[in-house]
Amino acid sequence: MSANSRLSRAYKNAKKVPFDDTSKIILFSDCHRGDNSFADDFAKNRNIYFHALKHYYNEGFSYCELGDGDELWENISFSSIFEAHKNVFKLLRQFHVENRLHMIWGNHDMVYKDPEFVKKKLSHYFEPIDECEKELFEGITYNEAVVLKHTATGQEVFLAHGHQADWWNYTFWRCGRFLVRVLWKPLQVWGIADPTSPAKNYLELKKVERRLKKWIRSKNLLLTVVGHTHRPRFPEPGEVPLFNDGSCVHPRSITGIEIENGTIALIKWHIATTDGGTLKVQRVLLEGPQKLADYQKAQK
């Protein structure tokens, strides 16, 4: 099956979510939450991420995670990840309880495509203090893709992880998982990167982006937001509308995309130093805000 076919199937079977100019949505991807070991790339940014997520919760945003939220290639079980970042999952549960949580699976958490696996592993957790099972993500579903559809204009925003355009990481993800667990995870401490990952291989990254652009052209201006490559992308109106929210494992920062008031913007959260010498978590606008309607014009 080709990249075009995989993307078209994901679009056809996507979860439909209505939105309008009053909607507020934050998109993050590639958190790669791990077990707080030396190989946990998320650990160094977890305080930044938690602060940002709490801000969006308090401001009434819906949260959509575009895949690779949990690092289930390097880690065998979800329970070790949950224990390492319990505060994050409890905050995500609050989004879920209020129907403000939309989860998409990527190649590193592709096991979540199985509803039975999700029900068994994510519905409840054991709380040692109370010595009982407690609800976590009861009734949650993970999707391959989500389509946001504007209730007034009919404009669609297609959300996916983006590994549909990466034949190795989609079709042979089990092989990739095996290699990461037995080979690349031990070598990661020495700074040796996985050459099959588009996030660490520029040539692979460009190939993935080319395939995504080709598919978007075939769909007649379908605005698309993905992750997977970890490279933030914010096109100008008139260009192929392929956006990328980056990742939450950048050095000392996380990036994401906000949809609010009928606009789209690329943002970064990082730790900044004040003149007084204290540290604070700060939001920075990188690109936009740009009206979503502007991307319905002709492409270059």
pLDDT digits (tens, 9 = 90+) for 218-268: 988 789 999 999 999 999 999 999 999 999 999 999 999 999 999 999 999
Whether residue 274 is predicted with pLDDT greater than 60 in this model: the reply is yes
pTM of the predicted model as reported, rounded to 2 decimal places? 0.91
pLDDT digits (tens, 9 = 90+) for 3-28: 899 999 999 999 999 999 999 999 99
Domains of the chain and any CATH numbers: 3-296 (3.60.21.10)
DSSP-derived secondary structure letter, 182: I
For residues 7, 164, 90 and 130, what is the CA-based torsion angle, rounded to 10 degrees? 110
Q: What is the pLDDT of residue 299?
A: 45
pLDDT digits (tens, 9 = 90+) for 140-163: 999 999 999 999 999 999 999 999
Q: Which residue has the tokens 């204009």?
A: 153
256 contacts 31 by C-beta, under 8 angstroms: no
Torsion sign across C-alpha atoms 161, 165, 170, 175:
negative
pLDDT digits (tens, 9 = 90+) for 116-125: 999 999 999 9
